Amino acid sequence: MTSREYKKVIWTALLILLAFIIGVLIGYFSRTIVFQPDSRTKLLDRLNRDGDNSITQKLFDTIDTGQIDSNLRILTGKPRLAGTENNRESGDFVHRQFLQYGLQSEIIEYNVTLSYPDKTADNYVSVIEEDGTETFRTVAIVEGDEVQPFNAFSPSGNVMGDLVFVNYARESDFQKLKNLNINVSGTIVIAKYGKGFRGNKVKNAYEAGAIGIILYSDPGDYAPIGTNATYPDTVFLPNDGAQRGNIVLNKGDQSTPGYPANEYSYRLREHELNARLPKIPCLPISYSNAYSLLSLMTGDQVPDEWKGDLNITYRIGPGLTNKRKINLRVSNKLAHRRIFNVIGKIKGELEPDRYVMVGNHRDAWVYGSIDPISGTVVMMETARAFGQLLKDGWRPRRSVLFCSWDAEEFGLVGSFEWVEDNSKWLTSQAVAYINVDSAVSGNDTIHLKTVPLLQKVFEDAANKVPDPYGKYNSAYEAWNNHPRFRVYKMGGGSDHVPFLAGLGVPSMYPKYSYLKDIWGSTSTPLYHSRYENYHAFKMIDPELKFAKTMTSIISESIRNLADSRIIPFDLDRYAEYISNGVEELLNHYGQVVGPKMEEWIHRSVNAFHESAARLKSIIGAIHNDNDDPLYARQVNDKLLWLERSFLIDEGLPGNSLYKHLLHSPDTANYYGGVSFPGLGGITQCMDIQNTTECHVEIHKHVAKIIQRIFDAAKTLDR
């Protein structure tokens, strides 16, 4: 072979080698290029996906004040008293809307015991002269389907007696009367609405010995800028307006406590039922009617701080001038009626057995434009926004329920019955419940009630939503810089109670509240009157910008809760909440519980703090680099179970249906929220008697608190 031939062979061999190598490389990398992530890798990506912020913007973009206005107009078109045909129709409307939005929807009925004024009989207060003639009788304006002013579940009665003015009929008011040597026993009392739940007023009056109670809205509380500037010019109460409302302290259907009012359910017999209901007749009247009664009163002038804004001299009584008597006639009857909850549903994509819920009632005393419809339209628009995303092919990780409750005004009846009917799967599957009752009660700033676990969810959502006043960067910032900024404990008062106090489902209850510059109370002056209508609402939120803002906040809160890989609960806030609570507890009762119990309280709180910190660091690590979907679910289960750890089966002293040691309504003041509501009754025991028996009750209850704080720590650790 010549050297040239030799070279040729070498070159050829090199070329072949090169071709081979290029071939190997192409073969190797073509394989890489054609290699697809297999279906299992895709599955893992899907299971581990986290919430997607672009969804937030899509939700916000969908929200339409035109839709909100249309729903508002339709729902406030007629009175919607629970148990009436009108409110069945409103349920059908919500149901049809849910379906049209692309949700699943179901109407769920219960047959419950409600209370109505008996149309065949009279309901009024009259003034009776010494000779027996009637010289004055209260009147109430009622049009069309409107129900006359009454207090649901007041017994019927026809009582005659002296009148005593008892301010707001709080325990402290009756204590004051006692100190003034005024004997309320056998009298009819008249009390101002406000500063607490009306049912507590009736109970206090009964316990003081009164035989009847009249409730009225004093202009000092309900028309503070003068009785000439009222509805329809402002949202303040005109002189013929009266606040309706129930006066029961036990919530849910009165005939089926603890169980749903289904066809097969056991219903209390008459004597069992009556034992649960208020004992003395009660009637609400307008302040023009009240004027006629109060101006006739005798006795000493009331203490300065008791005075209202009627143009009279407020007197305590007892009695009226010239030996006149008061005759109170109440004629109510109990009735079994069908009520209709509407439940819209979005089935979750990855964890359909975990539920985020939002709810509000639909029934109203009359038109209920603020209470509840301002919240119902927020919920409906939220549902529509989510429905739109469903149509675009997106689904949240977890399921979402939109709940329109009936008969809330009669004591949370619709929500209680549904929760009692679904308590078992809700206990294991409900992640959170957001209550949007009266979501736009005002236009000044946000009023937030929340459990500590959910506070951050609300804040984060409000931080993404523009300030409706356009002054700050976000609704959160506006609220945070507002003089009324505060976060409230949950307490009672609306449909979150069966979820939170009954089952331990973390809840929040946000609304826009107060009237800018003119009104500093959380409820509106027209509340539960016939003037709380579409027009009134539009005076508060003419452009629906607060409704829109609240819809955005609720939508984003739901998205975050339903779509985040790890449930966005705030463990730090819960730990802080418990620390503050026990500090309060020890300030009050440190002496009673003694140093040994005190030490155990601290140990339990420390255990909770440590467990919370451990779980938090586990969660931090998951977000970074752990892609085991079972592990994430395990962490979520611990979070889900945390709130349940504080339940006691036997319930709080005085109310066996309130099982949450921290977040039940205060048994001493139903609207209020306190750190340890089960101590409410005991506090009274201590304040009044301070006996060994009270001390024992405190020991018993504090031992349960310690146990459950330890239990909560274990739930996070296990």
Residue 711 binds a second copy (CB under 8 A): yes
Three-class SS of 300-318: CECCHHHCCCCCCCCECEC
Q: Say whether residue 714 binds a second copy (CB under 8 A).
A: yes
DSSP characters over 548-615 = HHHHHHHHHHHHHHHH-SS----HHHHHHHHHHHHHHHHHHHHHHHHHHHHHHHHHHHHHHHHHHHHH
Q: DSSP letter string over 56-98?
A: HHHHHHH--HHHHHHHHHHHTSS---TTSHHHHHHHHHHHHHH
Does position 264 bind a second copy by CB under 8 A? yes
- Residue closer to a second copy by CB (options 24, 180) is 24
Cα–Cα distance measured from residue 685 to residue 377, given in angstroms and rounded to the nearest whole number? 44
DSSP alpha helices (H): ranges in 490-570? 496-497, 503, 534-540, 545-563
Q: How far is the CB of 629 from a second copy (least distance, A)?
A: 5
Tell me how many degrees the CA angle 241-409-661 measures, rounded to the nearest 5: 125
Residue 687 C-beta: closest distance to a second copy, Å = 22
Closest CA relative to residue 587, chosen from 675, 477, 495: 675
With CB under 8 A as the rule, give the number of residues binding a second copy.
Answer: 79
Closest contact distance (angstroms) between CB of 86 and a second copy is 30
Q: Measured from the CB atom, is 567 or 706 closer to a second copy? A: 706
- CB nearer to a second copy: pick between 92 and 693: 693
- Which residue of 96, 336, 391, 718 would you call a contact of a second copy, by CB under 8 A? 718
Identify the residue among 269, 305, 470, 624 touching a second copy (CB under 8 A): 269
Closest separation in Å from C-beta 450 to a second copy: 22
Map residues 567-596 to x or -, x wherever contact with a second copy holds by CB under 8 A. Answer: -----------------------------x
Angle between helices 545-563 and 375-391 (to 10 degrees): 50
Contact positions with a second copy (CB under 8 A) in 497-516: none
The answer to the question of residue 650 lying near a second copy (CB under 8 A) is yes
Q: Which residue, 424 or 471, is less far from a second copy as judged by CB?
A: 424
Residue numbers 379-418 binding a second copy by CB under 8 A:
none
- Token code pair at residue 454: 């959910």
- Note whether 99 binds a second copy by CB under 8 A: no
- Closer residue to a second copy in complex, CB, 28/144: 28
Site for a second copy in 170-189 (CB under 8 A): none
Least distance from a second copy to the Cβ atom of residue 685, Å: 16
Q: Which residue in 190, 380, 597, 612 binds a second copy (CB under 8 A)?
A: 597
Give, as ranges, the residues between 345 and 374 that touch a second copy (CB under 8 A).
350-353
Q: State the minimum distance, in angstroms, from the CB of residue 80 to a second copy.
A: 29
- d(CA 156, CA 279) in angstroms, rounded, equals 9
Residue number with CB closer to a second copy (96 or 700): 700
Specify the DSSP class assigned to residue 324: -
Residue 580 CB, nearest distance to a second copy (Å)?
Answer: 20
What residue type is assigned to position 452 of the chain?
P
Per DSSP, 677 falls in state: G
Residue 621 is a binding residue for a second copy (CB under 8 A): no
Site for a second copy in 13-72 (CB under 8 A): 15-17, 19-32, 35, 38, 40-41, 43-44, 47
Q: Which is nearer to a second copy, 59 or 640 (CB)?
A: 640
Task: Give the strand pairing for 430-435 and 507-513.
Answer: parallel
Interface region with a second copy, contact rule CB under 8 A, candidates 83-91, 221-229, 252-260, 278-286: 252-260
Instruction: Output 38 or 131, the one with its CB closest to a second copy.
Output: 38
In whole angstroms, the minimum distance from the beta carbon of 270 to a second copy comes to 13
Q: Note whether 616 binds a second copy by CB under 8 A.
A: no
**Binder among 80, 315, 659, 695 for a second copy (CB under 8 A):** 659
CA distances from 554 to 29, 52, 357 (A): 50, 16, 11
Give the contact letters, 416-455, x = binds to a second copy (CB under 8 A), - = no.
Answer: -----xxxxx-xxx--------------------------
Among 212, 219, 260, 493, binds a second copy (CB under 8 A): 260
Closest of 410, 411, 416, 492 to residue 670, by C-alpha: 492
φ, ψ for residue 474 (rounded to 5)? -155, 165
Interface positions, 190-249, toward a second copy (CB under 8 A): none
Q: Cis link prior to 372 (omega < 30° from 0)?
A: yes
Q: Give the span between the Cα atoms of 119 and 638, in whole angstroms.
A: 54
The reply to whether 706 sits near a second copy by the rule CB under 8 A is yes
- Min dist CB 93 to a second copy, Å, is 27
Select the residue interacting with a second copy from 250, 298, 656, 684 (CB under 8 A).
656
Distance between CA atoms of residues 335 and 254, nearest Å = 11
> Taking every pair of C-alpha atoms in the chain, what is the biggest distance, in angstroms?
150
535 is a site residue for a second copy (CB under 8 A): no
- Residue 481 neighbours by CB distance under 10 Å: 12
Residue 353: CB minimum distance to a second copy, A: 5
Nearer to a second copy, 60 or 600 (CB): 600
Task: Name, in order, each residue with C-beta under 8 angstroms of 577's C-beta and a sequence gap of 6 or more.
Answer: 452, 662, 675
Of 684, 676, 718, the residue nearest 701 (C-alpha): 676
- Neighbouring residues of 51: CB distance < 8 A, sequence distance ≥ 6: 397, 559, 560, 563, 564, 565
Binding positions for a second copy, 625-644, rule CB under 8 A = 627-630, 633-634, 637-638, 641, 644
Distance, in Å, from the CA atom of 379 to the CA atom of 416, rounded to the nearest integer, reads: 19
Q: Give the contact letters, 673-702, x = binds to a second copy (CB under 8 A), - = no.
A: -----------------------x--xx--
Look at the block and give the residue holding tokens 């026809």. 158
